[in-house]
Amino acid sequence: MAKTLVSDIIVPSVFAPYSLERTTSLSEIIQSGIAAGDAEMDRLAKGPGKTVDLPFWKDLTGASEVLSDAGSMTLTAITTGQDTASVHNRGKAWGANLLAKLLAGDDPMRQIADLVAGFWARDLQAILLKILEGLYDATAGVLKTTHRVDIYSDVAAGSITDAMRLTGDTFVDATVKLGDAGQNLVACAMHSDVEGFLRKRDLIDFLPDSLGKLVIRSFQGRRVVIDDNCPKTAGVNSYSYLTYLFGPGAFALGNGALDPNEAVEVGRDILASDDILANRKRFILHPRGVRFIGAAAGASPTNTELATATNWSKVYSDKNIRVVAVKHNV
């Protein structure tokens, strides 16, 4: 008697590219422009090794010289620097027992297949926030001073003023941390508490999506990404929050497409009556201009290693690192 197996539902050669496409369409950090990919990043993500080198030309500096018929101009060289990105190797496996299917009256593996892209979109965002945790570590984060505005005060709720909160005015203070490059900030990520406060103040605008539905949130003209993994830290009297502002392509993104049969595997444990789906990814997600100098213990950095401040070193000039944080009250 023939029966339908998980391998009949999920065909790796079809599922793998579809999952990648759906992850991209569901990812707010990609849709907002925070993380941007290109063919070169994809190529690097497909290559060997735990890390990839990203050499760059440094900007020209100094002042012009007055021309003279009595001497030559001073020759100045253009110099280079090197950024380094870690290549992430991640995977996740799901399984469902036959009894679960029988008792639920629905196929859990089909549901899992439909939800995989959403899982990876959230996971990508979680990795990005772990990287930011390392960059803004209060003790040794390389961006904690140059790219952060601290207006938080650990006072009782009744004593919190707008000068301590994220508002239109204090948002401007954050943008000018990048000087004239601050006008290029395109998105911000914030805790839902912060978004709720701004919405009560009528400071959140709703823009239409491709279907005309007013679902895209905007603050001060920047797209809003809501994530409760954005830092919320208890003080003695009040919580502090970190809200992040991003320029376009602040994070480099590359997808190292695996062979579909390596990216997706399906199987069945006949003795346990378990259907199994395993999904693997190899990709780059890297803050442009901040070099990863850590030595990952495994095949690629864990979230804990990404959140470790000493694993990062600043290599771009401050204006060219397109991330700013605001520490504030609500």
- Residue 41 above 60 pLDDT? yes
| pLDDT score recorded for residue 328 | 98
Q: Is 125 within the bounds of a domain?
A: no
pLDDT single digits (tens) 167-223: 999 999 999 999 988 889 999 999 999 999 999 999 999 988 777 787 899 999 999
> CB 189: neighbour CB atoms within 10 A?
27
How many structural domains are present in the chain?
1
Q: Is 283 in contact with 114 (CB distance < 8 Å)?
A: no
Residue 223: HSE in the Cβ half-sphere, 13 Å Cα cutoff: 19
pTM listed for this prediction: 0.87
pLDDT single digits (tens) 98-146: 766 665 666 666 778 788 999 999 999 999 999 999 999 999 999 999 9
Q: Is 200 within the bounds of a domain?
A: yes
Q: Is 152 within the bounds of a domain?
A: yes
Pairing of strands 239-246, 251-255: unpaired
Q: Is 36 within the bounds of a domain?
A: no
Residue 237, judged by CB atoms within 10 A of its CB (0-12, 13-18, 19+), counts as middle
| pLDDT score recorded for residue 72 | 92
pLDDT single digits (tens) 222-274: 999 999 999 999 999 999 999 999 999 999 999 997 788 889 888 888 877 88
Q: Is 207 within the bounds of a domain?
A: yes
pLDDT single digits (tens) 57-103: 888 888 999 999 899 999 988 888 999 999 999 999 988 877 666 65
Q: Is 176 within the bounds of a domain?
A: yes
Q: Is 307 within the bounds of a domain?
A: no
Q: Is 215 within the bounds of a domain?
A: yes
**Residues of the domain holding 194:** 148-246
Read off the pLDDT band of 2 (50, 70, 90). very low
- Residue 4 above 60 pLDDT? no
| pLDDT score recorded for residue 1 | 38
